[in-house]
């Protein structure tokens, strides 16, 4: 409810809160809690009662060379792929939990007419603590973890793009302080839960008036 009220408050009234049209037909909206939000004018996301979640894709930052926490040993390609899979599944669970908590919404296994398809992507990922060992390893952090999200919402019936959000979050770990793979997972869980709650409790309840309607 908090997320929804914040979103409604940010977008209701005040023409200066609406930005330019994108090349793919979305209206950019200024919203203080997200780096980027754009929606199709006239769309009403609250009419959708079924949601299909596509698996989250994960892309590491090009400048990040992942190593095992506590060493300079580079992660193998297999371990990097496993890390991507684990991160994607972690965000998938957060989204599913947030949407399941909304009694109005039902998650479906396959897209069908009348459903809303969510396609999430995590990108520019850089983590402070990673390892494939059975025991957590703690070391000193030179940087904070960071991760960015892009989420697109598409009508399953006509494949029309309805909304897009983008956001970047920096981990709360103190530079120069201790970090571990376990701590990084907890930090990601906090970030993912915040994003997922925004979607399940706010974005999927929102309607944006058409450009020819009074905002």
Residue ranges per domain, the chain? 47-128+141-205
The confidence score (pLDDT) of residue 191 equals: 93
Residues paired with 122 in a beta bridge:
58, 149
Q: Distance (Å, rounded) from C-alpha 85 to C-alpha 137?
A: 21
Quote the CATH superfamily of domain 47-128+141-205.
ABC-type transport auxiliary lipoprotein component (3.40.50.10610)
> pLDDT value at position 33?
78
List per-residue pLDDT tens for the chain, 215 residues long: 434 434 444 444 444 378 899 999 999 998 777 899 999 999 999 999 999 999 999 999 988 887 765 557 788 889 889 999 999 999 999 999 999 999 999 999 999 999 999 999 999 999 876 644 444 443 333 467 889 999 999 999 999 999 999 999 987 654 444 344 555 778 889 999 999 999 998 888 877 777 666 55
pTM for the full predicted model = 0.81
By CB atoms closer than 10 A (0-12, 13-18, 19+), residue 209 is middle
């Amino acid at each position: 409810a908090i997320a929804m009220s914040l979103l409604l408050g940010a977008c209701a009234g005040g023409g200066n809160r609406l930005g330019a049209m994108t090349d793919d037909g979305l209206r950019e909206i200024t919203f203080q809690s997200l780096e980027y939000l754009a929606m199709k004018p006239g769309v009403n996301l609250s009419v959708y009662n079924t949601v299909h979640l596509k698996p989250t894709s994960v892309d590491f930052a090009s400048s990040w060379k992942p190593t095992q926490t506590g060493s300079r040993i580079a992660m193998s390609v297999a371990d990097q792929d496993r890390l991507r899979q684990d991160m994607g599944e972690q965000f998938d669970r957060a989204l599913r939990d947030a949407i399941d908590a909304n009694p109005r919404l039902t998650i479906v296994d396959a897209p069908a007419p009348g459903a809303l398809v969510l396609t999430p992507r995590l990108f520019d990922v850089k983590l402070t603590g990673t390892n494939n060992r059975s025991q957590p390893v703690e070391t000193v952090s030179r940087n904070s973890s960071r991760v960015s999200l892009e989420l697109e919402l598409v009508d399953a019936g006509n494949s029309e793009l309805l909304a897009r959000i983008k956001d970047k979050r920096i981990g709360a770990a103190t530079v120069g302080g201790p970090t571990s793979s376990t701590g990084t997972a907890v930090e990601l869980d906090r970030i993912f839960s915040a994003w997922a709650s925004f979607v399940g409790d706010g974005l999927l309840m929102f309607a944006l008036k058409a450009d020819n309607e009074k905002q």
